[in-house]
């Protein structure tokens, strides 16, 4: 069996991905989209503190919080 050299690594011929058929990503709708938003300093500090306590990034924590709002269909009361 021939071994194909790719850079400094070797690859068995049966793993040659150049012959792989392309198809759409079935999880594309679940991917993240980068956006820019302006947040109050107090909001940023709150999420940064909470994120440090949880050992995750503040962006990840904000995303988790917003995802929880989506799942629970939470509505903001503006009175």
What ranges do the domains of the chain cover?
Answer: 32-74
16 closest CA partner among 1, 26, 31, 28:
1
Give the Å distances, CA to CA, from 37 to 4, 40, 44: 47, 10, 11
Record the pTM.
0.60
**Mean pLDDT, to the nearest integer, of 7-17?**
66
Instruction: Please state, in angstroms and rounded to a whole number, the distance separating the CA atoms of residues 71 and 22.
Output: 32
Considering the four listed CATH numbers 1.10.1220, 3.40.50, 1.10.287, 3.90.550, the one that applies to the domain covering 32-74 is: 1.10.1220
Mean pLDDT, range 53-75, rounded to an integer: 96
> If you search the block for the tokens 């995802």, which residue do you land on?
67
Q: To the nearest whole number, what is the mean pLDDT of the chain?
A: 85
> Quick one: pLDDT band at residue 59, thresholds 50, 70, 90?
very high
């Amino acid at each position: 069996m021939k071994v194909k050299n790719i850079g400094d690594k070797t690859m068995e011929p049966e793993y040659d991905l150049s012959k792989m058929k392309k198809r759409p990503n079935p999880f594309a709708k679940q991917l993240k989209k980068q956006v820019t938003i302006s947040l109050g300093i107090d909001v940023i500090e709150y999420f940064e503190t909470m994120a440090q306590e949880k050992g995750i990034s503040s962006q990840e924590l904000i995303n988790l919080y917003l995802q929880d709002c989506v799942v629970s269909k939470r509505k903001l009361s503006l009175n």
